[in-house]
Amino acid sequence: MNKWFKSGSPWIWLSAGGVSLSLISVLGLLWLIASRGLSYFWPSELYQFDLTDEHGTKSVVIGEIYDREQIPVSQLAHLDLVLEPDQEILERLLIKTGNRELVSLDFRWLLSHNIQKTQTPKDLVVVERRTNGNFYGYIETVVVDGKEVALEKLPELLSRVDNFQEQINELQKSDIGAINYQLERLRLKTRKYQLQNKLTPELQAQIDSEIATLNQEYAELEQELLGYRKEVSRDHIVMRAMDGQLVTINFEYILKVTFNNQLTLIEKIALFFSQIASFLIEDPREANTEGGVFPAIFGTVLMVLLMTVIVSPFGVIAAIYLHEYAGKNAFTKLLRIAVINLAGVPSIVYGVFGLGFFVYMVGGSLDQLFYSENLPSPTFGTPGVLWSALTLAILTLPVVIVSTEEGLSRIPSAMRHGSLALGATKAETLWRIILPIASPAIMTGIILAIARAAGEVAPLMLVGVVKMAPNLPLDGNFPFLHLDRKFMHLGFHIYDVGFQSPNVEAARPLVYATALLLVSIIVALNMTAVSIRNKLRERYKMLEH
Amino acid sequence: MATLVSSNRSRGVKNSLAKWLITLGGISVLFTLVLIFLYLLYVVKPIFESAQIEPKVSITLDLKANDKVLSTGVDELQEVAYQITETGNIDFYHLKASAPKADNQFSVGDNALSMSLFASDDLNQERVTNVVNSFSANKILHTAKGNTVLIQPSFYAKYANDTREIIPQVNYPLGKDSLIIDEQQAPLSNLAFAMDDEKIVFVGFTQDKRLIKTSFIAEDDFSSSSDGEDVEYETIFQQIELLEGKVDEIKVTPDLSLAFIRVASTVYVYSLSDDDEVNLKATIKPTLDNNGTYLTSMALLSGSSSVLLGDSNGQISQWFEVATEAGRKFKQIRSFDARGIEGRNSQTSNAITTIYTEQYRKSFYTMTDNGMVNVFYTTSSAHLWQGKLGSAQPEAFAIAPRANGLIIVDNDSIDGKKTNLQVFSVHNEHPEVTWQALWQEVWYEGYPEPDYIWQSTSGSDDFEGKFSLVPISFGTIKAALYAMLFAVPIALTAAIYTAYFMTPVMRKKVKPTIELMEALPTVILGFLAGLWLAPLMEEYLPAIFLLFIFLPISTLITAFAWYNLPNHWKDKLPETLAPLLLIPVMVLAIYAAFALSGVLELAFFNGDMRQYLTNDLGIDFDQRNALVVGIAMGFAVIPTIFSMAEDAIFSVPSHLTSGSLALGATQWQTLIKVVLLTASPGIFSAVMMGLGRAVGETMIVLMATGNTPILDWSIFQGMRTLAANIAVEMPESEVGSSHYRILFLAAFVLFIFTFIFNTAAEFVRQRLREKYSSM
């Protein structure tokens, strides 16, 4: 034993333990997010529990099993349960019961001790709705235009309503949205002329006639919309809930009706993927706690692209300066310290700087100069996607610099000397020889910067992200790209839905799914960057020999 | 030939152009950092500037020979000022010339409106003895014959031709006739009042030495009509028993609850809330410096909790009610010295003649006998300004409604017969912030003792922001420290093993995997910490503590088992596979800890450790506590430390280790005595970088703690950090306010803090690199 200690072997093993623990935590974390995130999409079994509680009251509960936990009996002493004498631990089930119009809470704890019978009836359905969350129960009747029809008609009716809903959406979002946007622009135009004292009666008349045409169009579209609405709300189904109550659900509110217990494995897999797809392409519903995350994906991507456009030239030029032009002097040392510090400054400090400098100072001045007709409501003097992109560009600048410089330093100096010896100027050598060879390194830097920016939330909370953006920053209205708009972001979505939403418990699976999406994007980006870098290193090694 | 030369020239131009551009681009990095630094400083700077008072406008008033100015005031924008004279006239003057385009043309000093305030016939020819101000715009005129009128000078803006003109007017909220304050209608030598929408309370001292309280209770509402003709109210007359002497000063709090009566150097506090009886609530007898010093003035501070007492020696003391064991008592909280350096040595009298308080903030101005004006802020104990404004004793003095100006009416210093109205602009935006108030204990109104408090907003209007950076700086340090306690051992042991013992093949896989953790967005770590780890830990609290024992012990047991394995087994499972062998062992240990958790709780903690902590040990337990933050932020910091420490250890020149091993040292001895010693500066810089990251981390702390700014080291309680505080409060703070600037200061502190850490770490690393290359 003593000899064993003297050999140092236990300490080596302990330090190996550090590696193991780190690996366990990384992989465990990824596994946790993946499993929880993916299970959100998997159609789960629907259960019917027949219960008898400690007072002998019987009841029926229908829902999905959400969680299980073991609790010591001592915590349930107040319930006066009839138990086996040696029983110390009881199992408790968390059931998602939905049916928000009947019970106030979506979730309910059941003691498995009280469950008399558990069934999975084939005709149990879950109805996904636009409002009020899921409804669990049995379909009693399907009513079309006041007449009862067979259950088999349901898919056909649903797809009919889906079509109408799509048209309504189209009308509301693009056509009516465009008219509102144009009306607003006309109002601003009038105000601008007024401010410049150029509003002549002719101009006023012209603008008035334009407004009249738009209002006319608006009225027509509204009529059309009303027509669709009427069609959509024609039919309804009657559902029987767990306590036997009958509830009428209009097709207007129905998104999907699934007989989860009738699904075969293949159908389940198909449903699983279609759920993932709709998560990616749909808009959020019910204060972000249901539906998809499309606007958040869109906002993240757009902001990151803008940032890339800004950060890449600056980062690359700075790296070239540091490696190719800067002499070995105190100033260069100072520059390097600046780069290290830019990388080390907490991200929230960038947010504070971005809010004060970009939003209030630069944006405020822009408003005064170019958007005075809109004041006092700010155009650029308020957080928005442009300022977010700029702030994150400063934040990710060192990432691009460090990576590019690493690439430059691996290029053998013989290549530079060769080019210069052949009579090329330094700039030509850079442009024709160095940059093409270093391009994968630059790419790596940019990808790493994107990965960093996609996951950063704290500064964005100050400079432009919102929980719910009414319009995307890119749409069909001139000038198409609206840099002044606020946007949604995946990372902030996680924070907001997970911590600020009114029903955190119900939203949690969605947060896991969003987290999985974000982690996958970032891990994929990082792995790509690392593999490009590794390939690059191999290639340089070959160049050296 | 010619084309070649010209193309060569253009190549040269391009070359030098590129050089300039690239140099510019390189320098822009430094520029960015300096810009951030300077901008933060630029926003923060105003909070540490002391007050400035500068003359703005001076106008000569035309007064009748036997008239005297008693009171003055100004509108919010400081465009029209007024004076009220002894003969009962009010005169409004323009302080700003009209715009060129305006219909109504006037210049500075022009009369805007002049009228007699005695509209009612029975008041004519009277002389005003007292003009009593309140915390609102209402004033009372009291005449020598005992008549009283409530007036309200007010202003409204008129827009025409894109120009704005401020129009003055006078309202009579209770009508133009004289009000009956004293049942016996005796003239009053002292009077104070306060009013709200339903009630007005007057407290006065008659010339025949009776102290009276009179309440007007509105039938409906006092603010219902501006001319006050239809307002109906019920009057209640009460007499207050006075213990001694002659009343010098009376003040009534704006919430109508207390009256402060100063009789020589004693202040009697009466409770006014009861309409049947007026009770003596407390007596304030300040201990005055030396014999012969006596109280000379009294004022109420905005917010109606504090009273300020000024004495004949230039001292002002602040008093408010404090909850003590023997009930609520008035206590002297702090004192201010209005003498200044100059005054302390001078022979002139330093007696405080008047104290003027601001309407919304806890600032006050004092006037001393020798004409010195002092500006103080109570809560921060700040002495903001000292100097002379005009002549020794002004006839009237007023603070502008937004506290950004002063109006002083006094006699011209050269021509003593002329009376001037002078307006001073006051730059005093952030009096509540001083370096001491940010970092030292401050005694706030209503608190039993001085304390460090961060509380920036509240629902109530007369709320005072409490900005102590101590609790949130403490929270930052606490969070960082717990994170480092968790991260440093794991990160360093992992780095040592990976760099020194691991096979190259395995290292190539393990290093990027651990570094992948650094790329994980902190919002995800924070979300898992808050919504998964925190509830899990609350439920399996003993398991977490068991893990601290189980993990090392299971590792050592595995190591010992491996040591005792027969040799052919050892060959098949070489020691280099240790990290992989340990993974299943550790997973089992973790499982065991969680499985045993319930048993342990039943055996030792009455079935629930959390309850046990709170009920039996009296330790407060937050679900989102320092332990959760420590673990979650630890994970965020591990890859930073790991990666840099690993680099430092890995790049120790191999001839050093080979030499040591050749001399017979074991692997472990070589590691401790040679490798770690050589790499120690690098390891140090890795830890510094990790600490820098932990200090500035926002999302994890935001999501994994309750964000309560408390001063408590307990591992079971949360904290609020500088970074999280900025994220929480910045979106709601008003641009340019003290709160906004203090949040910038918090960001600046973070910036400087991480700057020092990063620069130090970078220096150490550069030195180390040079050292390695010279070996």
Contact A495, B527 (CB under 8 A): yes
B307: exposed, middle or buried (Cβ count in 10 Å: 0-12, 13-18, 19+): buried
Side-chain-side CA neighbours of residue A538 (13 Å)? 5
Which range among A188-197, A518-527, B604-613 has the greatest average pLDDT? A518-527
| Start-to-end CA span in chain B (Å) | 55
- Contact list in B for residue A353 (CB cut-off 8 A) is 36, 39-40, 747
| Radius of gyration over every alpha carbon of chain A, rounded to an integer in angstroms | 31
The token pair at B50 is 């002391």
Contact B428, B384 (CB under 8 A): yes
Distances (CA, A) of A438 to A260, A404, A411, A426, B213: 54, 7, 8, 16, 88
Distance from CA of B382 to the nearest CA of A (A): 28
pLDDT at B227 over 70: no
Task: Provide the residue type at A412 as one letter.
Answer: P
Write out residues 544-583 of B within 8 Å (CB-CB) of A.
551-552, 555-556, 558-560, 562-563, 575, 578-580, 582-583
pLDDT tens track for A171-214? 888 888 888 888 888 888 888 888 777 778 888 888 888 889 88
Contact B279, B289 (CB under 8 A): no
Q: Report how far Cα B79 is from the mean position of its chain's Cα atoms.
A: 32
pLDDT tens track for A206-256? 888 888 988 898 888 888 888 888 888 888 888 888 888 888 888 888 888
Instruction: Report how far residue A431's alpha carbon sits from residue A324's, in angstroms, rounded to the nearest whole number.
Output: 12
Q: Which of A72, A317, A425 is the closest to B602 by Cβ?
A: A72
pLDDT value at position B458?
A: 66
B7, containing H or E segment: helix B2-44
Q: Are strands A290-291 and A284-285 parallel, antiparallel or unpaired?
A: antiparallel
Distance from CA of A282 to the nearest CA of B (A): 22
Instruction: Report how far residue B59's alpha carbon sits from residue B433's, in angstroms, rounded to the nearest whole number.
Output: 35
Distances (CA, A) of A524 to A312, A446, A519, A529: 20, 14, 8, 9
Residues 6 or more apart in contact with residue B164 via CB below 8 angstroms:
B157, B158
Task: Provide the residue type at B198 as one letter.
Answer: E
pLDDT value at position B687?
A: 93
Min mean pLDDT across A155-159, A528-532, B455-459, B590-594 is at: B455-459
Q: Taking residues A412-427, what's their average pLDDT?
A: 90
Task: Provide the residue type at B8 as one letter.
Answer: N
B530: exposed, middle or buried (Cβ count in 10 Å: 0-12, 13-18, 19+): buried
* B754–A32 C-beta distance less than 8 A: no
Q: Which of B254, B237, B143, B244 is nearest to B192 (CA)?
A: B254
- C-alpha triplet B699, B701, B703: angle, nearest 5°: 65
Min mean pLDDT across A19-28, B209-218, B523-532 is at: B209-218
Q: Which of B751, B752, B697 is nearest to B721 (CA)?
A: B697
- Contact list in B for residue A10 (CB cut-off 8 A) is 556, 559-560
Residues 6 or more apart in contact with residue B478 via CB below 8 angstroms:
B626, B713, B719
Q: 3-state DSSP call for residue B187?
A: coil
pLDDT value at position B459?
A: 60
A149, containing H or E segment: strand A147-149
Query: Facing residues of A21 across strands?
Result: none
Q: For chain A, what's the residue count? A: 545
Residue A452 contacts B, CB cutoff 8 Å: yes
Which range among A139-153, A354-368, B358-372 has the greatest average pLDDT? A354-368
Closest CA in chain A for residue B754 = A345
Q: Taking residues A512-536, what's their average pLDDT?
A: 90
pLDDT value at position B322?
A: 87
Instruction: Report how far residue A349's alpha carbon sits from residue A458's, in angstroms, rounded to the nearest whole number.
Output: 9
Q: 3-state DSSP call for residue B533?
A: helix
The token pair at A498 is 């997970």
CATH number of the domain encompassing residue B753 = 1.10.3720.10
Residue A9 contacts B, CB cutoff 8 Å: yes
pLDDT at B360 over 70: yes
B604: exposed, middle or buried (Cβ count in 10 Å: 0-12, 13-18, 19+): exposed
Distance from CA of A57 to the nearest CA of B (A): 29
Residues 6 or more apart in contact with residue A541 via CB below 8 angstroms:
none
What does DSSP assign to residue B355? E
Contact B358, B403 (CB under 8 A): yes
Distances (CA, A) of B406 to B139, B151, B154, B688: 18, 21, 18, 52
Q: 3-state DSSP call for residue B189?
A: strand
Distances (CA, A) of A61 to A49, A127, A405, B344: 5, 16, 64, 84
pLDDT class of B121 with cuts at 50, 70, 90: low
Q: If one looks up domain A296-544 in CATH, what number appears? A: 1.10.3720.10
| Start-to-end CA span in chain A (Å) | 51
pLDDT tens track for A442-467? 988 999 899 999 989 999 999 989 88
Contact A322, B23 (CB under 8 A): no
Q: Which of B25, B563, B582 is the closest to A9 by Cβ?
A: B563
Mean pLDDT score across all residues of chain B: 86
Place of tokens 């700039």: A427
pLDDT class of B432 with cuts at 50, 70, 90: confident
Q: Taking residues A296-314, what's their average pLDDT?
A: 93
Residues 6 or more apart in contact with residue B96 via CB below 8 angstroms:
B57, B78, B79, B108
Residue A349 contacts B, CB cutoff 8 Å: yes
pLDDT tens track for A481-492? 888 889 999 999
pLDDT value at position B392?
A: 66
The token pair at B45 is 């700077």
Query: Facing residues of B73 across strands?
Result: B82
pLDDT value at position B243?
A: 67
Residue B5 contacts A, CB cutoff 8 Å: no
Q: Taking residues B221-235, what's their average pLDDT?
A: 70
CATH topology of domain A47-122: SH3 type barrels. (2.30.30)
Q: Taking residues B683-688, what's their average pLDDT?
A: 91
Distance from CA of A250 to the nearest CA of B (A): 35
Q: Taking residues B581-590, what's their average pLDDT?
A: 92
In chain B, % helix, strand, coil (3-state, to 5) comes to 40, 25, 35
Contact B133, B396 (CB under 8 A): no
Per-domain boundaries in chain A = 47-122, 144-262, 296-544
Any domain includes B199:
no
Q: 3-state DSSP call for residue B91?
A: strand
Any domain includes B353:
no
Q: Taking residues A370-390, what's their average pLDDT?
A: 86
The backbone torsions φ and ψ at residue A3, rounded to the nearest 5 degrees and listed phi first, read: -65, -40
Q: Taking residues B675-687, what's their average pLDDT?
A: 89
Q: 3-state DSSP call for residue B694?
A: helix
Q: Which of B303, B251, B688 is nearest to B460 (CA)?
A: B303
Residue A511 contacts B, CB cutoff 8 Å: yes
The token pair at A163 is 């079509």
CB atoms within 10 A of CB B459: 5
SS3 string, B109-139, reads: CCEEEEEECCCCHHHCCCCEEEEEECCCCCE
Query: Facing residues of A254 across strands?
Result: A129
Do the two domains A47-122 and A296-544 of this chain adopt the same fold? Answer: no
Instruction: Report how far residue B746's alpha carbon sits from residue B743's, in angstroms, rounded to the nearest whole number.
Output: 5
Side-chain-side CA neighbours of residue A544 (13 Å)? 10
Which range among A112-116, B358-362, B528-532, B569-573 has the greatest average pLDDT? B528-532
Q: Which of B192, B183, B191, B189 is nearest to B209 (CA)?
A: B189
pLDDT value at position B342?
A: 61
Q: Report how far Cα B29 is from the mean position of its chain's Cα atoms.
A: 33
pLDDT value at position B217?
A: 87
* B638–A74 C-beta distance less than 8 A: no
Q: Which of B29, B587, B747 is the closest to A348 by Cβ?
A: B747
Percentage of chain A beyond pLDDT 70 is 97
pLDDT at B343 over 80: no
Counted domains in chain B: 1
Q: Which domain holds residue B713?
A: 469-774
Whether a cis peptide bond, with omega within 30° of 0, leads into B168 is: no
CB atoms within 10 A of CB A84: 8
pLDDT value at position B721?
A: 92
* B601–A72 C-beta distance less than 8 A: yes
SS3 string, A42-65, reads: CCCCCEEEEEECCCCCEEEEEEEE
B723, containing H or E segment: helix B722-729
B363-368, strands of its sheet edge to edge = B352-357, B363-368, B372-377, B382-388
Contact B331, B319 (CB under 8 A): yes
Q: Taking residues B437-452, what's their average pLDDT?
A: 87
Q: Which of A32, A344, A462 is the closest to B731 by Cβ?
A: A462
Higher pLDDT, B55 or A504: B55
- C-alpha triplet B551, B556, B558: angle, nearest 5°: 95
pLDDT class of B411 with cuts at 50, 70, 90: confident
Q: Which of A322, A324, A327 is nearest to A340 (CA)?
A: A322
- Contact list in B for residue A360 (CB cut-off 8 A) is 735
pLDDT value at position B460?
A: 63
Percentage of chain A beyond pLDDT 90 is 28
pLDDT tens track for B473-518? 999 999 999 999 999 999 999 999 999 889 989 998 898 888 888 8
* A14–B552 C-beta distance less than 8 A: yes
pLDDT at B673 over 90: no
Place of tokens 């502008």: B400
Q: Taking residues B598-623, what's their average pLDDT?
A: 80
- C-alpha triplet B357, B358, B359: angle, nearest 5°: 120
pLDDT at B119 over 80: no
Instruction: Report how far residue A139's alpha carbon sits from residue A141's, in angstroms, rounded to the nearest whole number.
Output: 6
Residue B32 contacts A, CB cutoff 8 Å: yes
Which range among A78-82, A151-155, A469-473, B404-408 has the greatest average pLDDT? B404-408
Q: Taking residues A6-14, what's their average pLDDT?
A: 85
